[in-house]
Structure 1
Amino acid sequence: MAEESRAQADAEREALVHRFAAFYDAAPIGVALTDRDGRIVDANPALAKMLGRQVDDLRGTPVTELAESAADAELIRAAFADLGTVRRPRVREPLDLASAEDDVPVRARLTIAGLPGSEREPVYPVLMFEDVSELDLLHETLRRQTVHDQLTGLPNAGSFVNRLEATLAGSADGEQIALVYLDIDGFKVVNDGLGPGAGDEMLRHVARKLRAVFTDHEAFLARLSGDGFAVLLRGNLTSTDVIDLVEEAMAELAEPIYLGGRGVGVSVSVGIVVREAAGQTQEDLHRAAEITLHRAKENGRAQWMLFEPELDRWDRRRYGIGAVIAGGLENGEFEIEYQPTVKLDGSNEIAVVNAALRWNHPEHGQLRPREFYPLADTTGMTLALGRWLLAASLRQAAGWRAEFGPAAPDLCLPLPNRLAIDSNLVGLVRDELKETGFPPGKMRLCADTRALLDPRGEALEALSVLSELDVQIAMVVTGAADLELINAQKLPVGFVVVSGPLVDAFADDEPDAAGARTHLATLLRRCRELGLHRVGAENVRGLEHARRLREVGIVAARGPVFGGPVTSAEVEALIRKNAG
């Protein structure tokens, strides 16, 4: 019975050895068995394949000779030393193994452990090599995608910020730093007109040109976002050095690029900041470069601008105002002011009051429309301001109408361009007239040719519909040519307001104003031919100015001669005075 049990145990051990041998041969990782001197006793097929060698060739080879470099060999040697003292598995950082088939080393991760042995050889070292070449390649690809722009191959915005912060931290005393921010002008036209493929090729083209130009001063280029690029320069440089490079880049980009056989011009707007690196922060430099770039774009594009402290302070104020328009509207900081338009027939009767917004800013005091409307266009708040002005002015005008009856003046609402082209203008006006009960015939909407000709809107159609609702339409003109739009489009204009040099020419009796006066006479004659007999003027400065305008046919005027803008309460006082 005992012999039978021993035979069964021996069979099980032999089967176990066979299973281990099969596992050893089939293991996907490379395994090498060594003696305690580090010579390979045996290796499995996976290790041989990994190294491009035969198993027989590996036997007897010192395991350190598998290493690609002396440092990697020392790593294996240290692992053996640790195994002899600690007697536990040791996982090493990746190391490079020499490949017999390829000049490129094999990136592997080593684990060394000791198999139990005999009294003579208490530990049999076993080394396991895991091929991590593809994994490392994946990690590198992911890392590059994280820090690089895939389209252009340039570092991305995150990399640029990191480099800028590192540069500032490591800068020497007196070292200069320069930021160059570039935006492609009209990129949306190319992207939308020729397709995203053309836009992508243009971005790659710009990246190549910038790489070719910005090679000195440790230049670091990046694509920030969309059509925006940035360059960081450092060292012994001046504003002139940077400007020369920028102008060279602009000249290189000016040569047409052919996209699908069509030549496309490339121009850029550029903001430049050059400062001593000491004491600067990444945030301040970024903001300065951004604002300088915006100024270049506002001034006509296709040009560079250099950061100037005085302009920067002004821009900070402007952008600070624009950023909080929504809050000002929510907090009740806006109110309406009115500019009276007075008849020039000697009665001094107020024919109409022109409504406009005034902002009582908690920090900057009283702000006029010209100080915040351009910023509202940028931030998308023009429509909200226009709607509020429409609703609030109609409520006030309805109150005057209820109290004073026919003595109350008409209400004129100059339409901000964004409101004039809004597709919902008719609905807005109709709803507010219904809500307030204000008579449509006592309301005037005033637009200029810029709004009427805007291709994005439907101002012409909207004004025609509002005219059918009995709303009066007024048009601001600066010359006789503007009247032809009325004639060509058959606009239902009832009032014409003359503005600009034609009016200013009558302020003083100067010989060089004769041409403008002749032009105004032509304009008034054309108005009569079109049946437009109610022609007013704005920015009338004095009584003599008003008299001269009345003599040539202007019937009403507004401006400094009749005082400045007034509040709703002051309008009520003027109505009472005129009625009395």
Structure 2
Amino acid sequence: MARQWAARLADTDGVSLPPEELERILFDLARDAVAEIEWLRDAAISRFATLYGTAPVGIAMADRDGTIVEVNKHLAQFLGQKPDRLAGRRLTELGFADRDRAKLAGGLEELAETDLEEFTDRVQLAHADDAGVWAEIVLTLMPGDRPGTRFPVLVAADANEVHTLQEALRHQSIHDSLTGLSNASRFHTLLENALSPFATGQVALVYLDLDGFKVINDGLGAGVGDQVLRGVARKLKESFTEHDALVARLSGDGFAVLLCGELTAAQVITLVERALEDLVEPIYIGEHGVGVSASAGIVVRDVGEGSVEDIQRAAEIALHRAKEAGKAQWMLFDPELDARDRARYRLGAEIAGALENGQFELIYQPTVKLAKPDEIAAVNAGLRWHHPRFGDLSADEFYPLADTTGMTIPLGKWLLTESLRATARWRDRYGDAAPDVCIRLPNRLAIEPDLVAMVKEELDRNELPAKALRVCTDSSSILDPRGEVLDSLTVLSDLGAKLVLTVQGSSDLELIPRHELSVQHVILSGPVVDALADDEPDVAARHLDHLVERARELKLRIGAEGVRNSGQADRLRRHGVIAARGAFVAETATGDEVDELIEQHTKET
């Protein structure tokens, strides 16, 4: 426009314009400029009105004080209101809760006091039905119609679906999908918070583990098992409602409870006992009324005592002891007992190195013929550990630890290998005077799939007949419901090894015909032998006679263990026991001492 009018003013053909003509030209210029400006303004207003009215987001315009002047139809629809009902309210009043109104007020304050161009956040806006709707909001200042004036504007976009999705993902990340309880990750985080340097009072950690849950899964199916877990979760939530209780599922059938505040061990124990009682009540799933029991480990301590790892370890140990105590039990962590257990577990961890470094030795319990007490019929082979710090340790002190650390099979293999090697040496040296060797196999070794091949290999290596080996077991192994020990013993018997059964009464003895066991020797043990230690009570004598008579009917050779003195040995012999071992001969003997006993017998004969 400026170029256009400049050209007209310059194009005078060398003629000076009179003032009236120049005035007319300038008026035309002003009129055209105003028309152009009005057209641009009207176009801008039209564009803004179109965008304002049709925008897929809500818009609220306010005066300088933050009072709403106008809202578009989308915001009115989003909030379930008529536009005129929103006009006149303050922008901050659009917030649903106090925290939302505070966010809006804070945003307006930042815009007014700083160079910030816009303020964004996610808030809940108030809907007409007294509910909150989530919105992504933008607050900004729009220039006014006079220089230097700016007015607040709120733009709101629907964020309900996004928020719902994010909340669902957040919930899934911190909750167990099956039970809805907190998961292990969230539980660990909250446990860390409970033990932070700023926390006060006491904290209690309870670990619970269902007893025999595998039976439910295997017997009724995983679907029923899942429903049982949901039922257990519900019961635990109902049982633990005090002391800011947090219940979580940590593993398949493992749960945990965190309690905080002013606590005593007695209070926590009461809650745990109530929960264990509630769990026993059947959970009905279709036609199945499923009852479960649980074991619980409990730790109660001041928040400043130990780390997260310490309290978790203590709860695990207490839970382990509860299961060892017979299941369906609770156990409170005992620091003194824990100190002793640490020493035991440290001992268990040393077994592998001790075996490699030659710290184990074969020891024997000689079994002698009672008619010829100087003649060894067999030797029971066992292990002794020469520990560099604790001295000589018996099998009872380290075999349970070997089970825990997985060293039972290596120890059992070493016992089998070395005892058969010693037996071969005695046979080469003493011929028929050499005793058989009797080995009590640990259950873990007895069910080893390679056991029979291992025994045959050692017998062949030492050129021994299978009958030189006696394998000893007891009623608990035979009654193992899986039957694996019994299967192994049967195969060893077929190989030619002699089976020996330790019995304490008639019921043990009757296992032989019931299971058609190829047992050749029985060893009387426990009260039936102890009763004849000092005298010969009538009841004990009749009981012993009954056992001996039944054993003879089954064509079994009868021995006894735990015989203390020669008088007891003589009484047993008169009632038909043909061999015995115990303190009246020797509690234990080394290989060299067994050599001396054999040599003594061969010289006398």
Note whether the superposition's TM-score is higher than 0.5.
Answer: yes
Distance 1:569 1:223 in 2: 58
Q: Does 1:133 align with 2:160?
A: yes
Distance 2:74 2:384 in 1: 81
The 3-state SS of whatever aligns with 2:242 is coil
**AA of the residue aligned to 1:563:** A
Structure 1 563/28 Cα, relative in aligned 2: closer, same or farther at 3 Å? farther
* Cα distance, 1:509 vs structure 2: 0.7
1:104 match: 131
Q: Does 1:425 align with 2:451?
A: yes
Tell whether the 8 Å contact from 1:420 to 1:451 is kept in structure 2 after alignment: no
126-135 or 351-360: bigger deviation: 126-135
**AA of the residue aligned to 2:516:** K
Q: Does 1:386 align with 2:409?
A: no
CA deviations 1:394-424 (Å, max 9, x no partner) are 3343344445544432221112223333444
The 3-state SS of whatever aligns with 1:562 is coil
Counterparts of 1:495-514 in structure 2, within 5 Å, are 495-509=521-535, 511=537, 514=538
The 3-state SS of whatever aligns with 1:290 is helix
**AA of the residue aligned to 1:136:** H
The 3-state SS of whatever aligns with 1:149 is coil
Of 375, 393, 396, the residue aligned with 1:370 is: 396
Distance 2:377 2:448 in 1: 28
CA deviations 1:73-106 (Å, max 9, x no partner) are 5645654565577656435332232334x43323
CA deviations 1:315-349 (Å, max 9, x no partner) are 44444444555555455544432222222232512
Structure 1 26/553 Cα, relative in aligned 2: closer, same or farther at 3 Å? farther
* Cα distance, 1:292 vs structure 2: 2.9
The 3-state SS of whatever aligns with 1:429 is helix
Q: Does 1:415 align with 2:438?
A: no
Distance 1:130 1:391 in 2: 80
The 3-state SS of whatever aligns with 1:300 is coil
Percent identity for Structure 1 against Structure 2: 52
Of 303, 328, 337, the residue aligned with 2:363 is: 337
Gapped runs of 5+ residues in structure 1?
A: 4-13
219-228 or 447-456: bigger deviation: 219-228
CA deviations 1:128-154 (Å, max 9, x no partner) are 544433333333333333333333333
Q: Does 1:466 align with 2:489?
A: no
Structure 1 278/547 Cα, relative in aligned 2: closer, same or farther at 3 Å? same
1:260 match: 286
1:538 match: 561
**AA of the residue aligned to 2:546:** T
Q: Does 1:296 align with 2:319?
A: no
Distance 2:300 2:107 in 1: 53
2:587 match: 564
CA deviations 1:405-454 (Å, max 9, x no partner) are 44432221112223333444322322332344333221111122222232
Counterparts of 1:232-251 in structure 2, within 5 Å, are 232-251=258-277
Gapped runs of 5+ residues in structure 2?
A: 5-41
Tell me how large the CA RMSD over aligned residues is: 4.1
Distance 1:23 1:576 in 2: 115
**AA of the residue aligned to 2:131:** V
TM-score for both structures, normalised by structure 1: 0.82
The 3-state SS of whatever aligns with 1:92 is strand
Distance 1:547 1:476 in 2: 20
* Cα distance, 1:36 vs structure 2: 7.1
Of 174, 183, 196, the residue aligned with 2:222 is: 196
Counterparts of 1:214-225 in structure 2, within 5 Å, are 214-225=240-251
Structure 1 28/439 Cα, relative in aligned 2: closer, same or farther at 3 Å? farther
The 3-state SS of whatever aligns with 1:225 is coil
The 3-state SS of whatever aligns with 1:296 is helix
Distance 2:60 2:558 in 1: 102
**AA of the residue aligned to 2:168:** T
Tell whether the 8 Å contact from 1:422 to 1:457 is kept in structure 2 after alignment: no
1:7 match: none
The 3-state SS of whatever aligns with 2:563 is coil
72-81 or 133-142: bigger deviation: 72-81
**AA of the residue aligned to 1:566:** A
39-48 or 342-351: bigger deviation: 39-48
Tell whether the 8 Å contact from 2:121 to 2:138 is kept in structure 1 after alignment: no
1:524 match: 548
Tell whether the 8 Å contact from 1:291 to 1:315 is kept in structure 2 after alignment: no
User: Number of paired residues?
Assistant: 569
**AA of the residue aligned to 1:565:** T
Distance 2:529 2:366 in 1: 17
CA deviations 1:140-173 (Å, max 9, x no partner) are 333333333333333334444444443344554x
**AA of the residue aligned to 1:97:** L
